Structure 1
Amino acid sequence: MSDEVLFEVDGGVGRITLNRPRQINALTQAMLAEIGDRLADWVDDDAVEWVHLTGAGERGLCSGADVRALRAELTERGEAAAEVFFTIEYAVDALIANYPKSVRADMFGITMGGGMGLSAHCSERVVRADSRLAMPETIIGLFPDVGVLYELSRAPGELGTHLALTGGSVGAADAVLLGLADHAAGEVPPAVLPGQRDWIDACYAGDDPLAIVHRLEEHPDAEARETAAVLRQRCPFAVAVTLAAIRRAATLPSVAAVLAQDHALAVPMVLRPDFSEGVRAQVVDKDRNPAWNPARLEDVDPAEVAAVFAQLV
């Protein structure tokens, strides 16, 4: 046991505190394994009536998986490292989604990526004024995983598609609207997304990522055109895979089923050069200038995207 996750049972509450505040509680494989083991122990522990998940520090619950560490593991051990990491992570997310006791997540500050996997499927999901929720995986050559496409595919209109493809963040009120949170603690800023529904719903319809970008680029609303520019910066192959994944997630019956899809997609996706390059550009060198391959959505081969999904058909 390390001190990167703290566990306590007090007054009927099993408390889990992510404890890497300098890294905004980024998740390592060891942390995820510890959380899974402890939650499994607490299932039959009468001293634990319900579980409370929070994070140390003031910056946020969790910034996501420690992708720098994952990238290093992939460089050293390749596919085996990916298989182990995602098997452990998604098993914990599935356990939380189906946990027999109430689990409350305090989704304060930055709550993103893998942190959403731990919190978005809890039975009580609480946001507050400083909450910023996101699944920013297309920024690093991946797709929104950890089962969150279950919620995003069921969000009103095409709001979930917009968030999944752009990797944009939302505040507390929009998180509740999207179905990523249940309620806010205290007063929070008003939702932004309802005012953007017209162009989002019109532009994000369909299954063709390039057609979506073209509609955004040609839309009279300046926000739509700005969003097109954002999408042009995201990993083209990841955008295409994400669109196909969220459409398929809408047909799946449970978070567990979406997590099974995630596992099938995540391993080949992180083995592509785009993931290593995306993490390099965002986290390692921080030059924010990734060299994607292919470089444009126009050059993404639909057959190559379909191949990622082949084992799911």
Structure 2
Amino acid sequence: MVHDDEPVLLGRAGGTARITLNRPRALNALTHPMVVTVAAALDRWERDPDVTAVILSGAGERGLCAGGDIRAIHEDARTGGSASPAFWRDEYRLNARIARFSKPFVALMDGIVMGGGVGLSGHAGVRIVTERSALAMPETAIGLVPDVGGTYLLARAPGALGTHLALTGNTVGPADALLCGLADHFVPAGRLTALSEALAAPGVRDAADVTETVLRYAATPPGGRLAEDRPWIDACYAADSVTEIVDRLLDSGLPAAKDTAQTLLSRSPTALKATLAAMRADGPPSTLEEVLDRAYRASCAALAHPDLVEGIRARVIDKDRAPRWSPKELAQVTEADVARFSAPPPGGDLGLAEGTAHLGP
């Protein structure tokens, strides 16, 4: 029996299977048991001929998923535990599994979608945003490199928009999510229930039927701002280093660019440099599996770096927004510091690209 207080609700309506992340008071933050539950459900549904599509949504009206449970990651990093690498192993496998799922996987990216929430939805076959959508990969603010395949998605955004979002962690609305390739369709939030019911109709049998159904409910999103900002973003982020990017932003004479420079200077210097290196490595022709393998290395390295504990402390635990980064300035971060984020972790690699990691639970 499924209880309403379970962290993941699984259900069926017609030919569609439903996954509802059910921790609304925690913005549906993702835990390891939730990952295992979703992966096991996908295993069953992929073998079930009566399931024609899967719909992912979040309980409540605030968001699909605000990311992983970073309080748990903070405690793990602070105490030298091993729970986070185990969580990331299964989480990244699930990200790859969703991308390769053989049936239409529809993600309703309503409200806040950040970090691990992007990992669950951004690799789906059909990604739907609403006027309430707020997407971000905010990892550099807590000493992490964007993971869950976020750099794979962002590295394929037009021009330097992806690099801008990866380094700053800035939030984007529906129009900019569509522009950057993080979503496929805009559907007003008030139409999501009707859309879900339509997807369960007997006539919806394959990917083409799903797309046709979604298009009947789709609309034009409210305007974004990245298209207008792209000229200075492309020019500034074309630089070879984070330091030069910051210099170009400060020298641009544009208030928005100068504000962006200040945002970057508030982020973990080590995470910024490691993120830029990841973005440059994770673009085409890299596969998602290769990117997830590299993300696992970077996340394990961050777990052993003091910026992760300090970043979460400043942003979530004490909420003073005054992190004491180590090192504290970009100029003090060495090439060796960055190289550690691409080194194999003590417990071994993820192995998705080599086919040594199973995509199921």
Question: TM-score w.r.t. structure 1 length?
Answer: 0.96
Q: Which of residues 184, 187, 200 is equivalent to 1:185?
A: 187
Confirm or deny that 1:163 pairs with 2:196. no
How far 1:252 moved relative to its partner?
4.1
Confirm or deny that 1:115 pairs with 2:117. yes
In percent, how many aligned pairs have the same letter? 47
CA distance in 2, matches of 1:76, 1:30: 21
Aligned position for 1:214? 247
Q: Which runs of 4+ in 1 moved over 4 A?
A: none
How far 1:306 moved relative to its partner?
2.0
CA distance in 1, matches of 2:182, 2:246: 25
Aligned position for 2:129? 127
Confirm or deny that 1:256 pairs with 2:289. yes
- Output aligned runs, 1:217-296, within 5 Å: 217-296=250-329
CA distance in 1, matches of 2:284, 2:243: 23
Aligned position for 1:137? 139
CA distance in 2, matches of 1:21, 1:76: 28
Confirm or deny that 1:96 pairs with 2:98. yes
SS in 2 for 1:161: helix
Q: Give the residue type in structure 1 aligned to 2:173.
A: G
Report if aligned partners of 1:209, 1:243 keep a CA contact under 8 Å in 2: yes
Report if aligned partners of 2:299, 2:341 keep a CA contact under 8 Å in 1: no
Q: Which of residues 10, 15, 21 is equivalent to 1:12?
A: 15
How far 1:251 moved relative to its partner?
3.8
CA distance in 1, matches of 2:101, 2:315: 34
SS in 2 for 1:61: strand
Superposed CA deviations along residues 157-209 of structure 1, whole A, max 9, x for unmatched, are 00000000000000001000000000101353212101101110010013311
Q: Aligned residue pairs: how many?
A: 311
CA distance in 2, matches of 1:206, 1:162: 12
Confirm or deny that 1:40 pairs with 2:43. yes
How far 1:151 moved relative to its partner?
1.3
How far 1:125 moved relative to its partner?
0.2
Aligned position for 1:85? 87
Higher mean C-alpha deviation, range 65-74 or range 167-176: 65-74
How far 1:82 moved relative to its partner?
2.8
CA distance in 2, matches of 1:59, 1:90: 24
Report if aligned partners of 2:35, 2:91 keep a CA contact under 8 Å in 1: yes
Report if aligned partners of 1:207, 1:247 keep a CA contact under 8 Å in 2: no
How far 1:303 moved relative to its partner?
2.2
CA distance in 1, matches of 2:240, 2:64: 33
CA distance in 1, matches of 2:162, 2:149: 13
Larger radius of gyration: 2
Superposed CA deviations along residues 58-89 of structure 1, whole A, max 9, x for unmatched, are 101010001001222333452x2232011011
Question: TM-score w.r.t. structure 2 length?
Answer: 0.83
Q: Give the residue type in structure 2 aligned to 1:180.
A: L
**Unaligned residue ranges in structure 2 (runs of 5+):** 189-219, 350-361
SS in 2 for 1:54: strand
CA RMSD of superposed structures (Å) = 1.4
